[in-house]
Amino acid sequence: MPDPAIIFRRVGRRFGDIQAVRDLDLEIAAGSVAVLLGPNGAGKTTTVRLATGALQADDGDIRVLGMDPRVDGTDIRKASGVVPPKAAFYDRLSGQENLEFAADMWELGSEAPIAKAAERFGISHALDQEVGGYSTGMRTRLALARAILHDPTILLLDEPTAGLDPESARAVLDLIREMAGQGRTILMCTHLLHEAEGIADQVVLMNEGHAWVAGPPDHLADTYWTDTRVHFDAEDRSALAGLVDLDGVVSHSVNGHVTVELDHLDRLPDIVAHLVESGARLTRVEPVQPTLEELYFEMQRHRRRQVDLT
């Protein structure tokens, strides 16, 4: 397991009467992709801001690449690329001038790979145009180009695909996959659950400024997913008619294939053995796996039950 690139220990941050982040514990391994999931106001943006030192924590301890953002904020920001929720630019300036400004902030000099970054995100043709005339998708692409201009070690993306067309959204997700492949550490905030599907090494469920659940998606599914439905199909579907009478089958439905709900998944080997013995040639036996969205809502239900109990 690589060393954590980002560590939060009991971090708190308050804005007036609002506790934006409280007792936040977070550990993101170097070279991994972590996705912060949660509704608006969950504290995701504040978490990103605390990580780069743009905001300072009231309580707790933060380490990013082994450094404290309150002391070494400049060094952390040099190593970080941020895609904020609103792709904001100096609208009267061209895309080229905006990227030059970013290059100046990171002291990249004349070697700044502006053309390469623009080409990477398909905005080379618009670099000379004023950003005020860019579409939302182009602005996000420019924000992505700006965020990777200095080849950051850590990439922080805050709702990067909000309001994007599918092509631009794919560009974001492709960037995440590409940078993850290069060993970069990536933290992405989103409330669009399907985005995290397939790219997250770790999912962190945030609510009311707190990380309620964290872990790899598979582990979370094993822990929180209580669905006992199984899809069956066979060469001759009539061979599955007897399923409804078997021990442990709670309910049964047919929708192209047969779906049964079991009282416990431990029943599945016996049921399969019975079907095979009775001559069914099975083509599909598939316990229902949760999508990240389903898992998210299941975890939310679990959290609410916990809150109710306490």
Span interacting with other proteins, options 34-42, 87-95, 228-236, 262-270, rule CB under 8 A: 87-95
Q: Which of residues 120-149 bind other proteins (CB under 8 A)?
A: 130, 146
Residues 6+ apart with CB under 8 A from 87: 136, 139, 140, 142, 143
Residue 104 as a binder of other proteins (CB under 8 A): the answer is yes
Alpha helix (H) residue ranges in the chain: 44-52, 69-78, 95-105, 114-120, 136-148, 166-181, 193-196, 217-224, 268-277, 292-309
Rg (CA), the chain: 24
For the CA atoms of 289, 294, 299, 304, what is the dihedral angle to 10 degrees?
Answer: -140
Q: Which residue in the set 66, 74, 253, 254 belongs to the binding site for other proteins (CB under 8 A)?
A: 74
Span interacting with other proteins, options 31-39, 69-77, 206-214, 287-295, rule CB under 8 A: 69-77
Distance separating alpha carbons of residues 146 and 26, to the nearest angstrom? 27
User: Residue 142 or 234: which CB sits closer to other proteins?
Assistant: 142
Span interacting with other proteins, options 24-32, 35-43, 101-109, 261-269, rule CB under 8 A: 101-109
As a 3-state breakdown, the chain gives helix, strand, coil percent values, each rounded to 5, of 40, 30, 30
Residue 82 as a binder of other proteins (CB under 8 A): the answer is yes
CB of 134 to other proteins, least distance (A): 14
Q: Which two tokens stand for residue 16?
A: 């007036």
User: Residue 58 or 294: which CB sits closer to other proteins?
Assistant: 58
CB of 40 to other proteins, least distance (A): 16
CB of 109 to other proteins, least distance (A): 9
Distance separating alpha carbons of residues 234 and 245, to the nearest angstrom? 17
| Chain residues that interact with other proteins, rule: CB under 8 A | 15-16, 49, 52-58, 70-71, 74-75, 77-78, 80, 82, 84, 86, 88-93, 97, 101-102, 104-107, 130, 146, 156
